[in-house]
């Protein structure tokens, strides 16, 4: 989950590396470091943010300021506490090799005892004088169990960077007489839009003249150059105080982008090119299993409701982290859908590979073009949500829910819904961006509510049907960025335990839109009021009944039940955001979290 950058070319490396690390800081911000090579090798690293490292780098010698080769790292700690010593890059005893590493080496303990004084690459290189940096790195990786994304440089071969990956993403940016390395495309886009994605088990050697990619077994690989389809402005804050707030406000535009070219209103049909060739097999699946983690898992729960209601195909939703370890019963008649914003989530990738081994048709839904999930699934769809920098996911959730909504309608065609019924649902879906914009206009009201509840120690989120997963997502957002303990529950389950927690200091957030469960939700609100709980309700415009019962009401436009999650989630995102800012929390970099979970 850490961030890697690297540069070799004709420009000064240090400012490029530091700027790249700032672009990647959402991947980890416990410590940071750079290694520069200009005749000799210099490593500079420290605990804390990249900005602190940037200040320290002002004291670089003239030789190192002019270095045109270097690597950098921003860390999210897994093994070993955040400290100056544990920060990357690491050097060997002689100080002529520097390595940065993402991932978890599972046999690190055995290797550590043997190699503390020397280092694995150094030991192998010295044991055979015929080896070069590439072959020594390749040989070292054969001793390693676990996940890695590594960059290696050495003053013994001062015009070369060696990189390799297994389970932790790496991308090479191709410039004119210069090359860039990064964990993802964010640090590259201001320099080049041409990239090559490394696959698992590949090693690349990069010089100023070019690059070669081989397998760890030394078999040369032909790589496809991908052109990035986003611009620098998409990874800038654009006048917003935080990336999270910017991304919340981007949701109406993202909704348009997700549907563009796919929702054919005039024809009353869905066009999902990425799965077109497999649609018949998807429709005739005995069962669909959706695997995901975190926010994507909540979107998957909504997908379960949508697919079962519209297409009448049985659906199960599994935590990807549990799926691979419980020996799941999955076979050739099943479809497994994996969902991940980054397309690199380690647990979701493991679930994908388990499902493939068992013969299931595996389909992916992800945001990042060229990501590992996009490459390893048989078919799939990109969300086209654009880069998401805020650690707490917002626009990725709404994009994934729309994708699942469109998939459910596509699966229902010719099975359960008529052409007119599908066309009616598509018309309703097409109105969502405008309705989302109206909700965002309520920000000041939501901010006032947030100010009142910033001191809460606990919160309860309750919803029914399609809005139960939204309650889970609202609670997750509050936990992630404000550090307030919060739980999401089906509203009817409140009296089976959580009602014991309710007192005069407990905010209870109800999603109380008018649908088939509306009367039951009102009854649940009465139960909370009778125990002096503080009720905040999300309700449909014009609903006077809820206003009579709740202390605060946030009104949203009326929509059909299956579509309401796309609207009800937005006030909960804003509520969590503003509570967190009132509490002085760094919403873009919440403690102990990183954006893309590429380790187990």
Show which residues are catalytic.
2, 595
Q: Is 76 helix (H, G, I), strand (E, B) or coil?
A: coil
Q: Is 213 helix (H, G, I), strand (E, B) or coil?
A: strand
Omega of the bond leading into 123 within 30 degrees of 0 (cis):
no
The Cβ of residue 94 has, within 10 Å, a number of other Cβ atoms equal to 14
The Cβ of residue 446 has, within 10 Å, a number of other Cβ atoms equal to 24
Q: Is 196 helix (H, G, I), strand (E, B) or coil?
A: strand
- Are 244 and 477 in contact by the 8 Å Cβ rule? The answer is no
Residue 29 CA neighbour count, 13 Å, CB half? 19
Classify the phi-psi angles of 175: left when phi > 0, otherwise alpha if psi is within -120 to 50, otherwise beta: beta
Q: How many residues does the chain have?
A: 600
Nearest to 33, CA basis, from 64, 42, 170, 120 = 42
Tokens of 543: 């609903």
Q: Long-range contacts: 125-132, Cβ < 8 Å, 24+?
A: 125/97, 125/156, 132/157
CA distance 296 to 246: 20
CA 102 to each of CA 74, 169, 310, 477: distance values in angstroms, whole numbers, following the listed order: 10, 9, 42, 26
Q: Long-range contacts: 46-54, Cβ < 8 Å, 24+?
A: 46/84, 46/87, 47/82, 47/83, 47/84, 47/87, 49/25, 50/18, 50/21, 50/22, 50/25, 50/74, 51/22, 53/18, 53/21, 54/18, 54/22
- Residue 147 is classified by DSSP as -
Backbone dihedral angles phi then psi of residue 558, each to the nearest 5 degrees = -70, 135
Residue indicated by tokens 């890695």: 148
CA 527 to each of CA 292, 460, 496, 520: distance values in angstroms, whole numbers, following the listed order: 34, 13, 12, 11
Q: Is 261 helix (H, G, I), strand (E, B) or coil?
A: coil
- Spacing of C-alpha 390 from chain mean position: 9
Residues 6+ apart with CB under 8 A from 95: 41, 43
The Cβ of residue 341 has, within 10 Å, a number of other Cβ atoms equal to 28
Residues 6+ apart with CB under 8 A from 386: 230, 234, 250, 254, 257, 367, 395
């Amino acid at each position: 989950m850490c961030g890697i950058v690297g540069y070799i070319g004709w420009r000064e490396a240090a400012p490029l590396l530091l700027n790249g690390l700032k672009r990647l800081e959402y991947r980890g911000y416990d410590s940071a470091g750079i290694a520069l090579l200009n005749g000799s090798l210099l490593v500079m690293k420290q605990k804390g943010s990249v900005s602190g490292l940037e200040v320290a780098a002002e004291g670089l010698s003239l030789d190192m300021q002019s270095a045109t080769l270097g690597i950098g790292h921003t860390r999210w700690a897994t093994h070993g506490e955040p400290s100056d010593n544990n920060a990357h890059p690491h050097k060997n005893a002689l100080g002529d090799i520097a390595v940065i590493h993402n991932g978890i080496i599972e046999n690190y303990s055995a290797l550590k005892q043997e190699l503390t004084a020397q280092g694995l690459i150094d030991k192998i290189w010295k044991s055979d004088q015929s080896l070069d940096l590439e072959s020594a790195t390749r040989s070292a990786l054969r001793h390693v169990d676990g996940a890695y994304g590594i960059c290696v440089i050495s003053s013994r071969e001062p015009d070369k960077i060696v990189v390799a990956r297994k389970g932790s993403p790496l991308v090479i940016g191709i410039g004119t007489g210069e090359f860039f390395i990064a964990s993802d495309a964010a640090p590259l886009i201001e320099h080049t839009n041409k990239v090559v994605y490394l696959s698992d088990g590949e090693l690349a050697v990069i010089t100023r003249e070019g690059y070669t990619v081989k397998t760890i077994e030394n078999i040369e690989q032909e790589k496809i150059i991908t052109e990035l389809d986003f611009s620098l402005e998409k990874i800038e804050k654009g006048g917003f105080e935080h990336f999270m707030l910017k991304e919340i406000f981007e949701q109406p535009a993202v909704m348009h982008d997700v549907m563009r070219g796919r929702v054919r209103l005039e024809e009353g049909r869905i066009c999902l090119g990425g799965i077109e060739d497999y649609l018949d097999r998807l429709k005739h699946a005995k069962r669909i299993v959706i695997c995901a983690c975190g926010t994507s898992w909540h979107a998957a729960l909504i997908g379960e409701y949508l697919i079962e209601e519209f297409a009448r195909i049985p659906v199960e939703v599994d935590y990807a982290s549990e799926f691979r370890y419980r020996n799941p019963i999955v076979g050739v008649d099943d479809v497994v859908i994996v969902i991940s914003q980054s397309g690199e989530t380690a647990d979701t990738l493991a679930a994908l590979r388990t499902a493939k081994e068992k013969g299931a048709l595996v389909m992916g839904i992800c945001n990042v073009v060229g990501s590992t999930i996009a490459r390893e699934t048989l078919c799939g769809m990109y969300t086209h949500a654009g880069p998401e920098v805020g650690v707490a996911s917002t626009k990725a959730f709404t994009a994934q829910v729309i994708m699942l909504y469109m998939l459910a309608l596509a699966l229902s065609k010719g099975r359960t819904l008529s052409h007119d019924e599908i066309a009616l649902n598509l018309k309703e879906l097409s109105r969502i961006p405008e309705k989302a914009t109206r909700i965002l206009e309520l920000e000041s009201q939501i901010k006032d509510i947030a100010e009142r509840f910033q001191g809460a120690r606990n919160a309860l989120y309750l919803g029914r049907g399609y809005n139960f997963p939204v309650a889970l997502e609202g609670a997750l957002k509050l936990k992630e960025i404000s550090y307030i303990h919060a739980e999401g529950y089906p509203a009817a389950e409140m009296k089976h335990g959580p009602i014991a927690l309710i007192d005069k200091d407990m905010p209870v957030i109800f999603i109380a839109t008018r649908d088939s469960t509306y009367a039951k939700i009102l009854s649940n609100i009465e139960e909370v009021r009778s125990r002096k709980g503080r009720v905040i309700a999300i309700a449909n415009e014009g609903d006077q009944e809820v206003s009579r019962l709740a202390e605060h009401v946030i009104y949203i436009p009326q929509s059909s039940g299956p579509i309401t999650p796309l609207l009800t989630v937005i006030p909960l995102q804003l509520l969590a955001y503003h509570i967190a800012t009132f509490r002085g929390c760094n919403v873009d970099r919440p403690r102990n979290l990183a954006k893309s979970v590429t380790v187990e």
